[in-house]
Structure 1
Amino acid sequence: MALISIDPKNCTNCLACVRACPVHAIQTSVGNDIPTVVDARCIGCGSCLGACRYDAISYWDSTGEVKELMKSEENVAAIVDPSISGEFPDITDYRKFVEMIRSLGFKYVNEVSFGVDLVAKAYKMLFDEKKGKYYITANCPAIVYYIEKYFPSLIGNIAPIITPVMATANVVRETYGEDVRIVYIGPCIAAKREILRSDGVTKIDSVLTFRELRKLFSEKNIHESHLEFSDFNPPIGKLGSLYPASEGILEAGGINHAITDGDVIIAEGAETSLNAVLSFDQNIDQIRKNFNVFYDEGCVMGPGMATTADKQLRIALVTEYAKKRLKDFDVEKWEVEMAKHAKMNMKRVFKDDDQRLQEPDQAKLEEIMNLLGQADDGFTGCGGCGFKTCKDFARAIAQGLTKTDICYDFSLRSKNKYINTLRESNKKSQEEVNAYKEELKKIKSEYDLATDKLETSREIMNQIPSGVVIVDERLKVTSSNRSFIELLGDDIKEIDDIIPGLRGADLKTLVPVQFYKLFQNTLETGENIISRDVEIEESLLNVSVFSIKKNKVVGAIVRDMFSPEVRNEQIIQRITEVVDQNLGMVQQIGYLLGEGASKTEAMLNSIIQLHKTKKQK
């Protein structure tokens, strides 16, 4: 399980956690809106938790596994960090919070202070040997992980001594039985991962931070006012109660840390502690002192603390707590217990877990530096990105740990450039919009003109007494007049009510096959068909089909042969055609028959003239 997690629902991508992480274990990448934690690179310092204002970052919650332990029939002991006195300033007597912890179901409640006394004694012996080798204390898990992952060459300089927590677990099992399950309660997040390496008599089964402890108190409705006093189970520590302060373990072991002639340099706090490791790596031959290093400003300021009190108040609370404990302290009993556990195995080994990345190509670095607009002097940098120099930042970009957006200066310049680009684009876009508006006006004007012409042509078509219809290559009606619709009958008129002018209607669904075949023929051949009679039910229609656009559009004029006007006109036309077509024959007949033929011709001409005169009237 990952030690640190980011909740995408709460994350605003402000990148504060990315900037806060001292080892750049929180990565950002192009196209990924939410930062991701690379668990293998994480040292568990908790800096990201304090940087996030949106409650998007959480750490491994152990409350569930502790509840399961409480349900079991096994004996479970709680070993409590002395910094609990700085965590619960609202509790008037430490014996009350001991009983509160016991009320959760723990059979034993021990303080880690006795383990501190044992470990402090081991450090005293190690430092007093003075064989020319110097050490970094191994009490802060975050610092141990930092060295293992990023300064593996210093692993041999980590003091090979177990932590006070491990020592206390050993003491509890030697005192109450090896089958006791143990839960450590303290201010440290990295300890949740550290216990995975513990085994045997030093094994820790789970770790609760003080935040998680308060959560369990709330769930179980456990309050100080409801409980009586209860003291820690023995053995009880002496000066180990001062462990929450960085110098506390040195005080407990009687180790000289004076500035002038002391054996140890104390380094605490995020930046100071990491710089101390770097200084140890580069300058230990000149410094020639042991380093007591804590990532936070002592355990009393650990990320698992729930309250927001400042360091000075917490140190004061811890000191006052230690004084009260020492007031009636049984030194002889303590010495007996110390002697009893003097032969405890304090040895510890560490793991080479090198997470350093390959140095990127120099040309790539220069390319990124140019992109950032920074000089490659190795010193330039505001530190806002979380890196000491711009070159370090460029290196991380090349290694895929981060992206350029983290740089405030680059982001600002990019945004200003983007804003200017938008302004120019908007200006150009506005000009294009104005041009489009003018074009739209022109198109609308042309459309209105075309619409007027279309309406005019339709009105003209409707004034034509003969039926007129125009179809496309699919025999779909594109236009027709009222006369055509009336010729087709009442059913077609109903369709016209729904689809004015029958526009889009399929001609094949409107007329018989012999009718639309004429249209198909003209579409296919391009040849006009003039005055073809077509019978539709009881009507006789005279149809002329002509090509408007070859193979694309054809039109037709349709007349009802039974209408009086058309009938008279057709009689005249057809008699004229008969006379014209048979004039030669009539002349021959006249030659043979003489006057009789002449009278026949005169009679036919008189019929034609008669109908013409009648039509004119």
Structure 2
Amino acid sequence: MKVIDFKPASCKHCYKCVRSCSVKAIRVTNAQAQIMNEYCVLCGHCLEVCPQNAKTFASDMDVVKVWLKQGDKVVVSLAPSYLGILKYRQPGQVVDGLKKLGFYQVRETAEGAAYVTAAYSRLLEAGKMKNIITTCCPSINDLVEKYYPDLTPYLAPVVSPMVAHGMLIKELCGKNTKVVFIGPCIAKKEEAEGDVRTRGYVDGVITFEELEQWFAGENIDLCQCGIQKMDNPDPKVNRLYPVQNGVITSVMKNYEAAVSGENLPGRGAQMYRKIFVDGIGACRELFDGMERGEFENCFIEANMCEGGCINGPAVNRLHVSRFKAKMNMEQQIEYEDPGYAPFPPQLHIEKMFYSRANKDHMPTEEQIQVILKATGKYNKDQELNCGACGYPTCRDKAIAVFQGKAEQEMCLPHAYEKAHSMANVVMETTPNAIFILDNDLKILEFNRMAQKFFGISKEDAMKSYLFEIMETQEFEEVLKDHHNILRRRMDLKQYGLKTLETIVYIEDMDGLLCILQDVSKDEERLEKEYEKKLQMVGSAQDVIDKQMMVAQEIAGLLGETTAETKIILSRLGDLISSDEQD
């Protein structure tokens, strides 16, 4: 199942999530970050650092509300970190608030932790394991199984407190009871619903953040609620599980009680040194050392979150720090073993761990070099290893590209250099003068053609204001009303130039971009063509005038010959008439 991921529309490919992911379980495809389930250990760090709030979480809130609405028996397993994280006056107010939401019972997960504590004590007494790593934290379990498979024999073969508690609740309240875990951890959802070894004991998971939203939606203020007791016997010291050294403290209190009660001989615990470690960086450093054989006979309390579960990814840190949460918890806890009866024998608290390591196909050196050269890295000096892409070295990123986990375009220095180079090509090869101004009309950028147009070097121009080299009235108008000017005719008589000016307001920087297109030659050509046309019109007029004169002369001659012809014909007619009379 996919517990966490990123919203495609919100992801802005800043790669901050990749940088924060210690195990590089985030694939970037088409500039979109995606969680790779098979690699993810569900620490939640990527969701915490995402500046776009692009995270998604497979919430059980809606289904839990349906169970309550239809009258199902729903019991809460409440993580003990609530003591330091939720806002209330008395712990009993949290119980009352949850029952106002409709829950049948509210029990502390520390009740289940007490039985896990007892199991750890028995492992210490047995002394058969070279090292023992606690298995309360599902993220740590994932980290070992996926990335340190040789250490799986050191994982304590015991379920987490949440799973043990789920088993117990269903035994006490009936198999059809719905168990809902509420806590600061997102990895618990995978453990409850995605791990076939522990599936079925916990039916839903709600985070503290979700719970606070639920309370707010129902107008429930815990500080105004009544006080009700938890439905479980006091787990006492086992409430310390969410803080640093809490597991070790609980185990040693239980061990001492068991020895004093003659339930354990009391020899095994002395052979183990006690170590607590938290934070993925520190845990990986320790596990690396264990792989090198640096540790033996150690009981190791390991937590993925720095400071323990009180600093989980689903905690609202705006109203409480992990340090204050720790103080709040420690002030309310009785440092004694609760003396619970043994875990019901029909329930099996054991869990087996095994390797789930991924075997990635590795590129050859030649393939790595091809990928490196594609991002402008032709030698070692060009491998900056800046980490901006999220990978510690350029070679690591090249390997990720080969494996389909990353894209070549993720190399930000190369992308910047490429974009800067392209911008320079445009600025320096365009036939137009281009300059950029701030809101005081100070020159910020001045390209090669601008230097040619105005006869001033870029260095001098960058120290100048626009009014020092040309009129600024139109620029001031654009700055004032933000109405761009596009291809307007402007004569720079002092420079012997005729131009088309474009002035564009840049909103983000409250400045101006100006482009001047030199049309002097075009204007000169047009003038010459116009003069030629005028000459042709004049020549045509001369021809027409001559033709008119010729036409008039021809008309005159035609008129004279026509008159003479008429006279002759008249005389001939008279002659013929006189002959007939005779």
Q: Contact 1:265–1:292 at 8 Å: present in 2 too? A: yes
1:43 equivalent among 41, 44, 58: 41
Contact 1:127 1:263 in 2 (8 A): no
1-structure distance, mates of 2:85, 2:388: 32
Q: Displacement, 1:52?
A: 1.8
Show the counterpart of 2:496: none
| 1:362 equivalent in alignment to 2:371 | no
Asked whether the 8 Å contact 1:166–1:202 carries over to 2, the reply is no
Check conservation: 2:192, 2:198, Cα contact below 8 A: no
Query: 97-106 vs 243-252, which deviates more?
Result: 243-252
SS of residue paired to 1:393? helix
- The alpha carbon displacement at 1:234 in A equals 1.6
- The structure 2 residue matched to 1:109, chosen from 106, 109, 130, is 106
Counterpart in 2 of 1:528?
Answer: none
Provide the residue aligned with 1:445 in structure 2.
Answer: 527
Does residue 148 of structure 2 align to residue 145 of structure 1? no
CA drift at 1:72:
2.0
Write the mapping of 1:26-425 to structure 2, written as runs, cut at 5 A. 26-29=26-29, 32-88=30-86, 90-196=87-193, 197=195, 203-254=201-252, 262-280=272-290, 282-284=291-293, 286-297=295-306, 298-308=308-318, 309-323=320-334, 334-335=338-339, 337-339=340-342, 341=344, 344-350=347-353, 352-369=355-372, 371=375, 373=377, 381-403=385-407, 406=410, 410=414, 413-414=417-418, 417=421, 420-425=424-429
Note if contact 2:127-2:271 (Cα within 8 Å) is conserved in structure 1.
no
Measured at CA, do residues 170 and 573 of structure 1 come closer, stay the same or move farther in structure 2, by a change above 3 Å?
Answer: farther
CA distance in 2, matches of 1:605, 1:17: 120
**Residues 119 and 158 of structure 2 are in contact (CA less than 8 Å); yes or no, is this contact kept in structure 1?**
yes
Counterpart-to-counterpart distance in 2, 1:192 and 1:420 = 52
Structure 2 CA distance for partners of 1:447 and 1:161, relative to 1, 3 Å: farther
Amino acid in the other structure paired with 1:45: C
Alpha-carbon contact 2:15-2:390 (below 8 Å) kept = no
RMSD: 4.1
Determine helix, strand or coil for the equivalent of 1:322: coil
Taking the aligned partners of 1:462 and 1:138, their CA distance within structure 2 comes to: 110
Deviations 1:326-365 (A, max 9, x none): 6xx8x7xx53x43253663112234654434211111122
Mapped contact 1:77–1:180 kept (Cα < 8 A): yes
Residue aligning to 2:469? none
Aligned to 2:11: 11
Quick one: which amino acid aligns to residue 203 of structure 1? Y
Q: Please give the alpha-carbon distance, in whole angstroms, between the structure 1 residues aligned to 2:206 and 2:158.
A: 23
1:606 to partner: Cα distance: 11
Q: Deviations over 1:445-468 (max 9, x none)?
A: 2443355457668978998999xx
More off after superposition, 271-280 vs 291-300: 271-280
Rounded to whole Å, the distance in 2 between the matches of 1:114 and 1:272 is: 29
Residues 161-170 or 56-65, more deviating:
56-65
Partner of 1:495: none
Cα deviations by residue, 1:479-533 (Å, 9 ceiling, x for unpaired): xxxxxxxxxxxxxxxxxxxxxxxxxxxxxxxxxxxxxxxxxxxxxxxxxxxxxxx
CA distance in 1, matches of 2:349, 2:26: 35
> Aligned-pair distance for 1:209?
0.5
Structure 2 residue matching 1:183: 3-state secondary structure: strand
- How far off its partner does 1:419 sit? 5.5
Shift of 1:145: 2.2
**In 1, Cα distance between the equivalents of 2:545 and 2:65?**
96
SS at structure 1 position matched to 2:182: strand
Q: Does the aligned pair in 1 maintain the 2:384–2:394 contact within 8 Å?
A: yes
User: Is the 1:78–1:110 contact (alpha carbons within 8 Å) kept by the matching residues of 2?
Assistant: yes
Q: Distance in 1 between matches of 2:94 and 2:144?
A: 36
Verify the 8 A CA contact 2:131 2:296 in the aligned structure 1.
no
TM-aligned CA distance change 1:381 to 1:310, over 3 Å: farther
Provide the secondary structure at the position in 2 that maps to 1:239.
helix
Superposed displacement of residue 115, structure 1: 0.8
Matched, 1:22 2:22: yes
Deviation at 1:164, TM superposition (A): 0.4
What secondary structure does 1:292 align onto? strand
Size of the alignment, in residue pairs?
473
- Any idea what SS the aligned residue of 1:357 has? coil
CA contact (8 A) 2:191 2:199 kept: no
Q: Aligned partners of 1:351 and 1:574: how far apart in 2?
A: 131
Letter in 2 for 1:126: L
Instruction: Give the match for residue 501 of structure 2.
Output: none
TM-score w.r.t. the length of structure 1 is 0.66
CA distance in 2, matches of 1:381, 1:284: 30
Q: Equivalent pairs: percent with the same residue?
A: 23
Query: In 2, Cα distance between the equivalents of 1:220 and 1:43?
Result: 34
| Contact 1:366 1:376 (8 Å CA) reproduced | no
Task: Give the superposition deviation at 1:58.
Answer: 3.1
Unmatched 5+ stretches in structure 2: 256-268, 431-446, 454-514, 573-582
